Each structure stands twice: as C-alpha cells, then as structure tokens.
Amino acid sequence: MNASPHILIIGAGLIGLSTADHLLRRGAAVTLIEMRSGPGKGTSYSNSAMIHPSQARPWFFNGTQLQANAAFYATYDLAEKSKHILEDRLKALGLFKKRDIPGCYKLYSTMEAARHAQEKYSNDGIMSRVVMDVKATLGHVALYFENDMWGNAYKYCEALARDLYVRGATFIYDANMARMRRNDEGVTLALDEHIFKADHVVVCAGPQSGDILATLGLNLFIDKLRGFSVNFERPSIDLPPAPLMDARSHSAMTIFDDHIRFSGTVGEESVRPLLKRWYELAPDIMAGLKPATEIWSGLRPMSKAGRPYIGPTDIPNLWVNTGHGHMGWTLSAGSGDLLARMILDGEVDERFAVVT
C-alpha cells in the first residue's frame, strides 16, 4: 500500500463524513463526492438527535431470535464505543453541551408496559429507570436511559465538514451524475469528463447505497424507511429537559436551543400522524406553537441484517459503510473509526460483514 493512500468516499452524510474523519486521522488522503449541495443534507439533515445505544435492537427484524441477538450485541457494542468517540469529537468541534439532565426518556402507555419493557432492556444489559414526572415526562410513564445523550446531527455535519476541509479533505458537491465503473482492479468513478481513480472507494450513500451497488452488480439488502420531521420555534414555556421517545409511534420530541422538533414514525405517508400523536402526548406544548418553520422527510437506510454493513465487498478496492437505520447518528463516529481501521490496518470484524 502507498504511504498515503487516496480514498474516495461517496456520500457526505454522518457516515461519509465520519469515515473521512478517521481515514484522515490515520494519514490517508480523502475525497468526498456528494450529489447534494452541501454536507448532511440527506437522512442526516433532521433526525431526532438522540445518541442512544439503548435503542440498538433492530426494528422489524425478519430473522431468527439468534440472528436478532447477534445483530443487537454487535450494534450495541459499536454504539457504546461510538458514543465516547462522538463525545470527544463534539468537544473538539465546540459543540458538546453538558446537560443538566443527561439521557433520554421513552414513554409508555401504562406502568405495566413500561415495567415489561424495562425487563427486556435489563435482559439485554441496558439499565433504565421507571419515572413519571410532570415536567420531564409530561406526566406519562417512561423509562429513563441515563447513559444516552443527544446533540444536533446537522450542526455536527456542517462543523465536521469544515474541519475536514481545513485538514485537507477534498469535497465535490452537486455531483449527481457520478457513475461507478467496474474494471479488473476494482472500481473507478466517472464524473462529467473526469475519471477518478483511487486506492479505495467507500460507499456511504445512506438509503441510496443499494442503488449504487446495484449498478456494479452487487445486491445489498437495504430498506428505505421513511420518517418525518417538523420544526417549530421554541415556545417560551417550561419544556422537558431531555428528548422524549414515544414507544408506540417510533417518534420523538427534541428541544434544541431555538426550536422544538417532532420527528419519526414508520410506514406513514404524511406528517399528520406524527403531529396527531404529539397532540395526544403533549397537548399543552402543541397548543402554544406557532406555525411550523420546517417540514421534512427522510429515508432511514435500514439493513435487512439488523445491523450496519461495514467492510469490504467482493470487488477488490470497494468498501461499504451503510445500513445504519434508526441508529446512524449514534453509530456514526464508531463506524467511521472501524472502517478506517479495516482499510488502513487490515482489521477484520465479521459482525458487520457486507452481505451481497
């Protein structure tokens, strides 16, 4: 291998940027190719902001219990490592906030449901506390996951992209006509008249990763699970100090410095069910909101293996870092670190094998 290998990354979302971060730290030269006009404008743009290893269990997993457990333990282990790396990166970028109340809450409809869920989490080795508080949980029964965190993922993408640029990464935006081509040595990337050759190419294209790999004859199993997000100006009333997840609707309420966000849901066609649900859960807050400042929807890149795909493919110089589903913010830094170690140090981790 060259002293300073050149690595091409497709996609500048949380995962592509984090991969670039760790490759650069290890001495590689990095070019990011992004079809949108800036970093973090895909699924990473408006998520629920939670860095929550506690939620590492796969959603809607279609395999055996044994496979679900293997996927969970791998994801949880990576999420815990990722959380610590992410905390350091947030500090270095000036984005880390020490919270009065750390962690995240998950709301349940009854005490019995909360206790039942708590037992399941406990069997997975995840500690939680049952709470019911007028301010923190809006009077609902909840599990409190003290070891989770939260932070603004899009702000992180913007700050990390600036930092990467200063450290020497090359960014090519609006590259929506980039095409991968396969040859005997691996793949190259054609953009306009230019052919990019690199020692390695990494696909970090989130929900589009499967489509890109399909053009090379690889069949990566990824579902695109739509979620919604609505921002409102932050109302000047007493608000919960940490994000609230709703167990029933896979959605959350998150309070940022200047806005409040409702985000999530699965299998819905509009934002209506999301807002309806939060009118039920938080009527006093919802009633006082001004018109929404932004409405967005994005696709979670959901791996059918129940854990991300991180590693080499059958094509010699082609790597994949994708399929992070509902856990991509949580797993971003750890996934970038892991793939950098695989490419540059020859590390192997079959728990995240790319199945095509």
Ligand X SMILES: Cc1cc2nc3c(=O)[nH]c(=O)nc-3n(C[C@H](O)[C@H](O)[C@H](O)COP(=O)(O)OP(=O)(O)OC[C@H]3O[C@@H](n4cnc5c(N)ncnc54)[C@H](O)[C@@H]3O)c2cc1C
Closest to ligand X by CB, 39 or 186: 39
Give me 15's structure tokens. Answer: 């995962």
Closest to ligand X by CB, 88 or 112: 88
Closest to ligand X by CB, 139 or 259: 259
**Minimal distance, residue 247 CB to ligand X, in Å:** 14
Closest to ligand X by CB, 50 or 286: 50
| Residue 170, C-beta contacts closer than 8 angstroms, at least 6 positions apart | 30, 31, 32
Closest by Cα among 19, 40, 41, 38 to 30: 19
**Minimal distance, residue 124 CB to ligand X, in Å:** 17
**Minimal distance, residue 1 CB to ligand X, in Å:** 25
Closest to ligand X by CB, 80 or 139: 80
233 touches 261 (CB < 8 A) = no
Which stretch of DSSP H or E encloses residue 220?
none
**Minimal distance, residue 308 CB to ligand X, in Å:** 9
Torsions phi, psi of 28, nearest 5?
-80, 160
Q: Which residues bind ligand X (CB under 6 A)?
A: 10-16, 33-36, 41-44, 47-50, 52, 175, 178, 204-208, 212, 227, 229, 263-264, 298, 300-301, 322, 324-330
Site of tokens 């923190």: 136
How many angstroms separate the Cα of 245 from the Cα of each of 54, 67, 100, 162, 286? 12, 26, 19, 31, 16
**Minimal distance, residue 314 CB to ligand X, in Å:** 20
Which stretch of DSSP H or E encloses residue 325?
none
